[in-house]
Structure 1
Amino acid sequence: MAAKAVIRFAVLLAAAMTIAAAPGFTQTNDPSLNQPRTDCVNGKDAAGADCAKDGGGASGNGAAQAGAVFLPALIVDLFPNPAEAPPPLPTPNPRNDQAGGTTPSEPTPPGGPIISPTDLITTEPPRAVTGEFVPDEVLVTVDGDANAVQQIAASFGLQVRSQRQSRLLGSTLVRFGIPDGRPVGVVLAQLAADGRTQRREPNHVYSLQQAAGIVNYAFDHITLDAKQANGENVRVAVIDTGIDDTNPALAGVIADQFDAMPGVPIEKRDHGTSIDGLIAGVGPLEGMAPGAKIYHARAFEGGKSTMDVILAALDWAADQNVRIINMSFVGPKNDLLGVACRNARGLGIVLVAAAGNNGPKAPYGYPAAFDGVIAVTATDAKDQLMPQANRGAYVFISAPGVEMVAPSGAGTDVVTGTSFAAAIVSGAIANLIHAAPDRSADDIEKALAATARDLGPKGRDNDFGYGLLDTKAAEAAKN
């Protein structure tokens, strides 16, 4: 009888272990899972179609995540791990543990087990991640201190690569590394199970908007008298590449500098030097707002940056009490960037961004497409639209940006792109603020829209926005 009881117990135990090992239907830990396969975990693709129609939404060839961008030289050493991280503490259990009777809102008992990433379930479907992004990182705002951050990392099998308090986001921003190859969209969905994670986003990649590379015709076309142009003491932040601050055009122009990626050597200085020069340059290559003070944040190398680096630059700019922030770059929509822009605008800062150089059929470019950001497209000496410019309802205003002479790291250059059109608008706005320091960001935006010279179909359109910037008319416009 005792032998039979032992056999029955062994059979029941094996059955129980088999049931416990069965994964939830939304689980996946396939390191080769690309985005279409992620979308099809629950049998439907991003559009809701049956994945069986195309073989399950993926080729099954182990391709890397769609849109993922590997930037080892840019990413690896930006924020090295702390030398001695505190040991993991007991953490909330992000799964329904039927055996223990706990729920996601109940803490694991002290000394309880740390969960393996393969044992996690999601409270929402895996996210479809669009645009370029760092393939082994996510950005998360956390409600809690450093101990909470370490607990989350331990619970979800992640690495803490950087963390800091963000002024514009109003919480702790953490850059988590994914060491085991899980797709970003899956990790974002898994993290949603922990109530301490407020916002969860990919670490998107953004690109500077320079399309090429004759006299600077911008003054005449935006009705700004070069002899009367003045941005004296108006603080303008520029988030861009490093600069050549020995260029004569920038003499006395740079009030302060910040390096948001100190672990990456500076190799390119042209783009940032041109942007600063077009805004406030001095000498033969005088900018739109001579006398303006530039607060320059280096956040790009090789024309690329990531969301966490850009957010650090934005926080620094906000701390400098600037009136204008120029963002001559474009990337995918990212909720963290949207919150930062909204809060910067709430501080009274005028935000100016390049609409993008990716062509008429390109998706909206961000940050330009966020509400409260002035999206600038580029026109040439004949007031024709730059062919490579993005189109869309978010385009706000046009400004010269095709084949203009500007200072660069090599001295001077002929530049083209919505990047440089954005700089022209930032310089023009500095003139408006100098003339009326109490003018609000809302009033400036309304004045630009009301006084722009219509170039396309009557009224605002997707190509030119409200039309060509008219600085003189905008300055005269009343509240």
Structure 2
Amino acid sequence: MAAKAVVLHAAILAATFVGAPAVAQTNDPNLSQKQIDCLNRTTAAGADCEDGAKNGGGKSGAGNAAGGAVFLPALIVDLFPNPPARPTPAPTQPAPPKSPTSTAAPAPPPSGPVTPPTGLNLAAPPRAVSGEFVPDEVLVTVAGDAGAVQQIATTLGLQVRSQRQSRLLGTTLVRYGIPDGRPVGVVLAQLAADGRTQRREPNHIYSLQQAAGIVNYAFERIALDSKQASGENVRIAVIDTGIDDTNPALKGVIAGQFDAMPNVPIKKRDHGTSVDGLIAGVGALEGIAPGAKIYHARAFEGGKSSMDVILSALDWAAEQDVRIINMSFVGPKNDLLGTACRNARALGMVLVAAAGNNGPKAPYGYPAAFDGVIAVTATDAKDGLMPQANRGAYVFLSAPGVEMVAPSGTGSDVVTGTSFAAAIVSGAIANLIHAAPDRSADEIEKALAATAKDLGPKGRDNDFGYGLLDIKAAAAAKE
């Protein structure tokens, strides 16, 4: 992508997201106070500090900046083709998106400065947090009422930034702020000592999986007759960017919309418009499942979102009685997301996610790598693997996702990425459900695996999974 595009995206991120204080986050309990001060650049004698202090032993994750400063273009690297190898984790964490305050159960603002308590017990060693995360927040599920939520905050010197009842988690989800700069890993260990807290996780950051970019060749490659394709009245949730619902390809397609980050202005609508169009577009840019009803949750801006926002979108999707949830994004492993996905699957929803565009040596991408989620990688018109696709045992299925024409916020565009391969699979599954509404999520998953066209090494492999989607064979498979 041209330099102007990078500058434009950086400007969008800078205008859209409010970053946390530039305080180094370390999860290494073995660091001395001087080393921590050096990470935070608070020592008077800067020359005494060693360069290259490490960030607590966490694994390298997408979006970590190189060097001692945060560079905005690094935050959107997953939106560009051929992303470079991930650098060693840097002392500071990237500036996060500003998570919207939930309207379900708004928490009162802090009445004054929060005084960090002393002598707090650690129920476990400080956690080494991998991946990109909001550096001054944690997400906690709490057993108890609003009083218990506030008592925990007071005891640990935290701020209640939002709280709501989560349908998919089955409990109260609280977003606590850390006002004094304590590392997230330390606060998670401190929270574990309070028996009222059930799950404690970082507020991880997730990235849309679009590689930059003819006639849609997907129909032919997945053995679907475009004249017979139909997802009529199948309800599909898409969690993505905002969309251009005036695009002719989406006329009559969008059945409902939800904004999970209402306090963040919408700047870009391309990615979400393309995903919705590939699934169920109409007219000249017909999707894989025409007639399907899209329930679209906007949860990304500038290519980024947080765990808190995504969970809000997932809860809304579950309330729409959808059969399929499309998640064309990737981030670190997070137990809250894993629980939400597991419970959505238990409710009978088919979960489809992008495997990731971060290269053969990238860590597993989530939510794709969770059990019960169909992880989709991208292939081209000749069934070749997209070079920048993630690899791993979690990859389940291959589908077209390289240089396809799709609707966008500017009309139409040529798109590439596992995001769009996931959309093709979601549309194909809608065809299966339209033809056999009683088919369960387990039955659909087994049919896709059993009938996929084997690519690469014989059998399931880390590059192509079970192979290329064959929707005709899957529809004919015996249950």
Instruction: Mark yes or no: TM-score above 0.5.
Output: yes
Letter in 2 for 1:68: Q
Could you say which residue in structure 2 is the equivalent of 1:362?
362
Cα distance in 2, alignment partners of residues 455 and 471 from structure 1: 16
The alpha-carbon deviation at position 32 of structure 1 amounts to 5.7
Indicate yes or no: 2:75 matched with 1:75.
no
Shift of 1:214: 1.4
Conservation of the 8 A alpha-carbon contact between 1:67 and 1:132: no
How far apart, CA to CA, are the structure 1 residues paired with 2:344 and 2:111?
A: 36
Q: Aligned residue for 2:152? A: 152
- Compared CA separation, residues 121 and 57, structure 1 to 2 (3 A): farther
Please tell me whether the aligned partners of residues 37 and 58 of structure 1 are also in contact (alpha carbons under 8 angstroms): no
The question of whether the paired residues in 2 share the 8 Å contact of 1:36 and 1:58 is answered with no
Deviation for aligned residue 1:201 = 0.2
- Offset at 1:38? 3.6
Q: Within 5 A, what are the aligned runs for 1:105-120? A: 116-120=116-120
Q: Which residue of 2 aligns with 1:344?
A: 344
Counterparts of 1:11-160 in structure 2, within 5 Å, are: 34-35=25-26, 37-38=28-29, 58=53, 66=91, 68-71=93-96, 74-75=97-98, 78=101, 84=108, 116-160=116-160
Q: What is the CA distance between 1:196 and its match in structure 2?
A: 0.4
1:465 Cα shift?
0.2
Structure 1 residue 119: deviation in Å?
2.3
Q: Could you say what secondary structure the match of 2:28 adopts?
A: helix
CA contact (8 A) 1:209 1:417 kept: yes
Do the aligned residues in 1 keep the contact of 2:329 with 2:356 (CA within 8 Å)? yes
Q: Which amino acid aligns with 1:296?
A: H
Structure 1 stretches of at least 4 aligned residues deviating more than 3 Å after TM superposition: 31-34, 36-42, 55-60, 62-67, 76-88
Q: CA deviation at 1:388?
A: 0.3
Q: How much has 1:59 moved relative to structure 2?
A: 6.4
Q: Secondary structure at the match of 2:405?
A: strand
**Which residue number in structure 2 is paired with residue 228 of structure 1?**
228
State whether structure 2 residue 255 is matched by structure 1 residue 255.
yes
1:437 correspondence with 2:428: no
User: Which residue of the partner structure matches residue 178 of structure 2?
Assistant: 178
Q: Which whole-Å deviations, capped at 9, do the CAs of 1:194-243 have from their partners, x for residues lacking one?
A: 00000000000000000112111000000000000000000000000000
What TM-score does the superposition give when structure 2 sets the normalisation length?
Answer: 0.81
* Structure 2: stretches of 5+ with no match in the other structure: 1-21, 34-49, 56-66, 70-89
2:240 is matched with which residue?
Answer: 240
Could you say if the C-alpha distance between residues 184 and 36 of structure 1 is closer, same or farther in structure 2, counting changes exceeding 3 Å? closer
* Corresponding letter in the other structure for 1:348: G
Q: 1:267 to 1:474 in 2, by over 3 A?
A: same
SS of corresponding position for 1:119 = coil
Distance 1:235 1:334, change over 3 A: same
The alignment-based identity, stated in percent, is 80
Query: How far off is 1:70 after superposition?
Result: 1.1
Separation in structure 2 between the aligned mates of residue 86 and residue 261 of structure 1, nearest angstrom: 21
Describe the shift of the 1:158–1:235 C-alpha distance in structure 2 as closer, same or farther (beyond 3 A). Answer: same
* Displacement after TM superposition at 1:85 (Å): 5.8
SS in 2 for 1:152: helix
Matched, 1:452 2:464: no
Q: Distance in 1 between matches of 2:178 and 2:110?
A: 19
The structural deviation recorded for 1:67 is 6.8
**1:188–1:350 Cα change, 3 Å:** same
CA radius of gyration, larger in: 1
Give the structure-1-normalised TM-score. 0.81
Q: Is the 8 A contact 1:277 1:407 kept in 2?
A: yes
CA offsets, 1:239-294, max 9 Å, x none?
00000000000000000000000000000000000000000000010000000000
CA distance in 1, matches of 2:30, 2:360: 28
- 8 Å CA contact 2:234–2:433 kept in 1: the answer is yes
Alpha-carbon distance change, 304 to 462 in structure 1, aligned in 2, over 3 angstroms: same
SS at match of 1:134: strand
Looking at structure 2, the residues matched to 325 and 57 of structure 1 have their Cα atoms a distance apart, in angstroms, of: 42
Q: Give runs of aligned pairs for residues 155-166 of structure 1, distance below 5 A.
A: 155-166=155-166
Q: Give the count of matched residue pairs.
A: 409
- SS for the counterpart of 2:377 is strand
The alpha carbon displacement at 1:121 in A equals 2.1
Deviations 1:389-445 (A, max 9, x none): 000000000000000000000000000000000000000000000000000000000
Asked whether the equivalents of residues 33 and 63 of structure 1 are also in contact (C-alpha less than 8 Å), the reply is no
* Cα distance in 2 for residues equivalent to 1:77 and 1:344: 23
Given that 2:168 and 2:343 are in contact with CA atoms closer than 8 Å, whether structure 1 keeps it comes out as yes
CA distance in 2, matches of 1:67, 1:331: 18
1:37 is paired with a residue of what secondary structure? coil
User: Alpha carbons of 1:198 and 1:413: their partners in 2 closer, same or farther (altered >3 Å)?
Assistant: same
Mean CA deviation greater in 347-356 or 77-86: 77-86
CA RMSD, 1 decimal: 2.4
**Which position in structure 2 is the counterpart of 1:403?**
403
Structure 1 letter corresponding to 2:137: E
